Structure 1
Amino acid sequence: MQYLVAVDGSESSIEALEHAIGVASLLDAELTLVYSVEPRILVDEGGDAPSFPEASERLYTEDIAEAESRGERVLEDAVERAREADVDADSELLYGDPVDTIAEYADEEGMDGVFVGHRGLSKRAQGLVGSVATGLVERANVPVTVVR
């Protein structure tokens, strides 16, 4: 059996990884750990902007190399955790919206299921930024285990 675990370095994704490691140990399954590279929108320094136009001028997209580097570090740590628990694990950097890339990868690679953490955002925050866990439950063609 092969399971996909979505990791992003957050506490909730680490909890999902730990749960997946436990399941994989019981089932003698392998894990594929994925990180979806999606550069962040950042704001330059300088305090609050007095108006929206000024704020929008101060927004910029993170450099793709920095986003990739962050993802590689997260994946290295996750693979190490799995291997310390004697679970076979490999990793893959994906590019784009996490919901789309993770669901597509799981389908294309014939995964038996997906593990993902849930940050427990408020309804308002979830409405603004979305939820990868919710999106995967709706979009994935394989079972999705959401770990809280």
Structure 2
Amino acid sequence: MSNISLTPLFRRSIGFDRLNDLFDYAMQSETPNYPPYNIEKAGDNQYRIVVATAGFKEEELAIHLENQVLTITGKPAEQEADSTVELLHKGIARRSFKLSLRLDEHIEVQHANYENGLLSVELQRIIPEEKMPRQIPIGRKLSPAAIETDAA
């Protein structure tokens, strides 16, 4: 596997040191293929993760958020085998899974819904007021107290 150097990108950006680590992690880890999932953009700041969890009950699924990593896990409950049925083909995989997705710092989980074998997790980008774009005055030297009173 070849290494990708992001050094040219860092010449024109400040504070993106962790981005290189994120790319290294993405290049090393394998992309999970079970369960199948979609990441959808429903609006400028609205996102949705839809995970196909056929055969799982709602209580067999869990969603956990820690340090901006959203983890969706599924663990099927033990089922008694029906001795009167012979399985000729098993195409529905009811195996345990763990799907982890890293969220941006301003992405918040709004709610989750489970319907018709699909687990939907609604996300929204909420940018705090202090992170919103603002105009910087030129030519006047303002003290921090003056900036606060100008903003009010």
TM-score where L is the length of structure 1: 0.23
Q: Which structure has the higher relative contact order (CA within 8 Å, separation 6+)? A: 1
Structure with bigger helix share is 1
TM-score where L is the length of structure 2: 0.23
Q: Which has the larger radius of gyration?
A: 2
Structure with bigger strand share is 2
